[in-house]
Amino acid sequence: MSPPTVKLNDGTEIPAIGFGTGTALFGRDAENSIKLAIECGFTHLDGAQAYNNEDSLGAGIKAAGKPRSELYIVTKLKQGFGAAQVKPSLVESLQKLGLDFVDLFLIHSPRPLKPEDGTLQELWQAMEAVHAEGLAKSIGVSNFTVDDLKAILPGAKIIPSVNQVEIHPYVWKAVEPIVTYGRENGNITPASYGGLTPLVRAAGGPVDEVLPPIVERLTKILGKPVTPAQVLSKWVTHKGAIVVTTSSKEARIKEYLEASQVPDLTAQEIQAIDDAGAKLHKRVFMRHVFGE
Ligand code: NDP
């Protein structure tokens, strides 16, 4: 069963859950993980020039043998690259990936950007140019703050379709204004990474206490075990965001995909997770952009 999709502001559809090649796979051969993820049902694969493994992402795509039309491939412009590097670096990425186009090309981060590399607005214009050439079906951003969005939106011919940012309960208070601003200014879809942080990077925190009764209720309704990771994934979905996750383990890959079958959380359950999350602030990634 293919994962559900979400319609972006440019009319294209993005699978609501994606499999990443950063974090644990950063700089490492991703071929086997990608092949396994595709075989288990993932169609949305999240790469980046900075992960230094796009060739193995391409090898995994090839090895899985799924038609290109059924896959959704994302890559990101290396941090620190300016407008002049957008097209040549994307062409190089496409060669490594073995593809004619990516479904989504993101600016990985608004910083660092050296003055000699131009402004953020010029960087976005270069993204619009590769979109016009058909090298990227959709274009978007990652790790953009409200001020970064404000810097590019006034001159933009194309509104970014996605802003991929860290989203989990321990960073929600800080990220909610970015999500809201994006929604209200061109319907920019948030995509989340780091969603499992309460389980894997901040175990023992306040969210741990509110998950068991939710897991128990949903397990009863579904008639098979629901996991805390699936509840967190549902929470991210309820915040309107695409989930980008990863795993080296087949059982967990399947568990992530099965989260779409888990019944909705109630408004009270979402609020309980929000309230518990608000008791602890923990940002794991991109502190050079966001600070703590
Ligand atoms: P998650 O927060 O979903 O964490 C996934 C990790 O959690 C895996 O390494 C997995 O390990 C581990 N895990 C899952 N469940 C458990 C459990 N119950 N107990 C212990 N460990 C568990 O995703 P990530 O933050 O790691 O990132 C996902 C993707 O997002 C990246 O690969 C990358 O593509 C993207 N990303 C983008 C960033 C950006 O700046 N745009 C920044 C960071 C990530 P295991 O292999 O053992 O299952």
The yes-or-no answer on residue 51 being catalytic is yes
Is the ipTM of this structure higher than 0.90? yes
Q: Give residue 23 CA to ligand 1 midpoint distance, Å.
A: 6
**Domain annotation covers residue 220:** no
- Is the Cβ atom of 195 under 6 angstroms away from ligand 1? yes
Ligand 1 atom index nearest CA of 142? 41
Task: Give the model confidence (pLDDT) of 5-63 as tens digits.
Answer: 999 999 999 999 999 999 888 989 999 999 999 999 999 999 999 999 999 999 999 99
Q: Answer positive or negative: Cα dihedral of 40, 224, 262, 106.
A: negative
| Sign for the pseudo-dihedral over CA of 250, 3, 45, 277 | negative
Q: Is residue 219 part of a domain?
A: no
Distance 106 CA to ligand 1 centre (A): 19
Atom of ligand 1 nearest to the CA of 249: 48
Question: Which atom in ligand 1 lies closest to the alpha carbon of residue 21?
Answer: 32
* Residue 292: predicted pLDDT: 86
Flag whether 213 is in a domain: no
In a domain, 275, yes or no: no
The CATH number linked to 109 is: 3.20.20.100
From the CB of 57, is ligand 1 less than 6 Å away?
no
Cα–ligand 1 centroid distance for 166 (angstroms): 11
The answer to whether position 173 is within a domain reads yes
Could you say which residues of the chain have pLDDT below 50? Answer: none
Using a pLDDT cut of 90, give the percent of the chain over it: 95
53 lines ligand 1 (CB under 6 A): no
Q: What is the pLDDT of residue 1?
A: 66
pLDDT at 280: 97
CA dihedral of 162, 166, 169, 173, whole degrees rounded to 10 = -80
CA-closest residue to ligand 1 atom 45: 247
Q: Is 238 annotated as a binding residue?
A: no
Q: Which atom of ligand 1 is nearest to the CA of 243?
A: 3
Which of these is catalytic: 51, 170, 181, 256?
A: 51
Q: Which domain holds residue 96?
A: 5-196+240-257
Q: Supply the pLDDT for residue 23.
A: 84
Q: What is the 3-state secondary structure (H, E, C) of the chain?
A: CCCCEEECCCCCEEECEEEECCHHHCCCCCHHHHHHHHHHCCCEEECCHHHCCHHHHHHHHHHHCCCHHHCEEEEEECCCCCHHHHHHHHHHHHHHHCCCCEEEEEECCCCCCCHHHCCHHHHHHHHHHHHHCCCEEEEEEECCCHHHHHHHCCCCCCCCCEEEEECCCCCHHHHHHHHHHHHHCCCCEEEEECCCHHHHCCCCCCHHHHHHHHHHHHHHHHCCCCCHHHHHHHHHHHCCCEEEECCCCHHHHHHHHHHHHCCCCCHHHHHHHHHHHCCCCCCCCCHHHHCC
- pLDDT, residue 3, reads 83
**Residue-level pLDDT at 168:** 98
The rounded Å distance from CA 122 to ligand 1 centre is 32
Residue 286 near ligand 1, beta carbon < 6 Å? yes
Please tell me if the CB atom of residue 244 comes closer than 6 angstroms to any atom of ligand 1.
yes
Tell me the CA–centroid distance for residue 245 and ligand 1, in Å: 5
The answer to whether position 277 is within a domain reads no
Mutate to test the pocket of ligand 1, among 44, 45, 193 (most ligand atoms within 8 A of CB): 193
**Distance (Å) of CA 290 to CA 147, 156, 182:** 11, 23, 16
Q: Is residue 54 part of a domain?
A: yes
Domain tally for the chain?
Answer: 1
| 38 lies in some domain | yes
